[in-house]
Every structure is written in structure tokens, then in C-alpha cells.
Amino acid sequence: MKEKQLRCHYCGKTKEIPSLCPDCGSKHIRFFGTGTQKIEEAVRELFPHARVLRMDMDTTVKKDSYQRILRQFAQGEADILIGTQMIAKGHDFPNVTLVGVMAADLSLHIGGYRASEVTFQLLTQVGGRAGRGALPGRVLIQTYQPENGCIQYASRQDYNGFYQEEVSLRKILGYPPFYHFAQVLIRGEDAVNVKMCAQKLAEEMEKNCVYPEIDFIGVADIGKLRGDFRWQILLRGADEGILSEFVQKYVAAGKKNAPKAIWYNITRNPLYIV
């Protein structure tokens, strides 16, 4: 992480990265990531005689490479297919009898209230690639959080159990579909102007947010992307119509008084809080 900080994607609060685990006190704490190339290297070492294909952003750059890799695997020209989420769904390979998922809990930590839903979808979808033909299938899930409810429900293919728990949590925490989010993104190439516009708009919104149906969550600097400095304002409301009308009113006023080359974007219930 470039900033060397932990950041809450909802309120913008930051915290120094701990050197010890705050839960158990262990010093064995670090960032983690395993790319498809590393997995391919390990697989080739473990199974030197197996024919291996890898499907990720690097191997699908050329035209038709995506279809070519899938065709090769479907026609039995490879024994093992390693890939990212792009191989998780929509493919029918009758001869596949084993599916393995590495670090299945990584997607539980994406910035957004849909993290468990996305993880459950991915695990159930990729698990469905095994045993589609005459031969039985088996799915192995590698995770650092085997006790997590989402992982447990996915391993049992328990759709109803997952839904009941997830919808209960969302109701308690005030997430969609019971409440609605509105994200205002302010961006531009001038860092000073972007910050000024974001903070001014946030101040106006918070000061005039007299509706009991609307919660002003906060304003935060979310970093630079593709040359643009970006700030976000996040609000939540029980009534989608009132929330939308309120946000649009103040964003329209902010645009009128903003310097040139400052852009405002409103997203309702963003999939990810950046």
C-alpha cells in the first residue's frame, strides 16, 4: 500500500499499519497477494507432466486469445487451467472433476457492503465448473477464514442460509435494500481546487441536512487516479427519492460555483466505495 496506512472507505478515517496483530498480538502480519503466475510456477513444479494453461489479463491481451485458451481447454489440449475471476462462470467443461480456489477470502475485503455477496457468488459459480459431466466433481477452497459465514454457506451451496444471514446484517447495519447510499465524486487535475470544492460542498450538505431520513457520513480524499485528484462525499438515506433530490440540488449548486475542469459524478448505491 503506497500510503502505508489503513483507510476506512466509508468515512475516510486513517490509521497507521500495525506491526502486531491487534487481535492476537502476533508479529507475523503483512500484506498478502498471490498472482496467477506464481500459482502456475507452483503447479508446473508439482505436476511436471501436466499440460497447463493460464488465463489472466497478461495472457488474453492479443485478439481472440480469450476464445483460443477456452477452446484449447474444452478440446482437451490441457489438463489444468489456471485463471482469475474470468474463468469462474459461464463455461461448461464436462471433463472437469476438480476445482481449486486460492485465497477465497480476499474478496471479503473489497471496499463495499457487497463484499460477502460477491464472494459467495464467485465461490458458488466457480464451484459449479466441477462435475458437470458423467464424472463426479470436487471443490477445494483455500481460505484464512474458514469460520466465516460466507465461506461456510458457499462450501455447502446453501443459498437460502446465506441470503437470510446477509439480509439480516444489512438491515441491522443500514445497507441496501433497506437504506440507500449516494456517492458524490469530485475530481480534477488541480489538487487545491478539488479539495476546496469537495470540502465546500460537504460543508453545505452537512449544514443543510435537516432531513431525519438522511445521514451525512463524511468527505474523504481518495487519492489520485489517471491524473485526477479525487475526493468523495458519502450520504445515506432511508428514502431514495428524498436522498436523490437533496444530493442533486447541492451538486448542481456546487457545479455553478466551481472552477473550470472540476467534474462531479453522483453514483447511487455504488458497488464499491473507493
Residues 184 and 168 in one domain: no
pLDDT at 255: 93
Return the closest-CA partner of residue 102 out of 30, 53, 42: 42
Boundaries of domain holding 259: 180-268
Q: Is residue 54 part of a domain?
A: yes
Residues 39 and 149 in one domain: yes
Residues 6 or more apart whose Cβ sits within 8 Å of residue 83: 36, 54, 55, 56
Q: Is residue 125 part of a domain?
A: yes
Q: Is residue 22 part of a domain?
A: no
**Domain count of the fold of the chain:** 2
| CATH number of the domain enclosing 197 | 3.30.70.360
SS3 sequence, 199-249? Answer: HHHHHHHHHHCCCCCEEEEEEEEEEEECCEEEEEEEEEECCHHHHHHHHHH
The answer to whether the CB of 219 falls within 8 A of the CB of 233 is: yes
**Residues of the chain whose pLDDT is less than 50?**
1-2
Kindly state the DSSP code that residue 18 receives in the 8-state scheme: P
The answer to whether the CB of 43 falls within 8 A of the CB of 50 is: yes
Q: Which helix (H) or strand (E) holds 273?
A: none
pLDDT at 9: 59
Domain boundary among 130, 155, 172: 172
Residue range 54-109, pLDDT digits in tens: 998 888 888 888 899 999 998 999 999 998 888 877 777 888 889 999 888 888 88
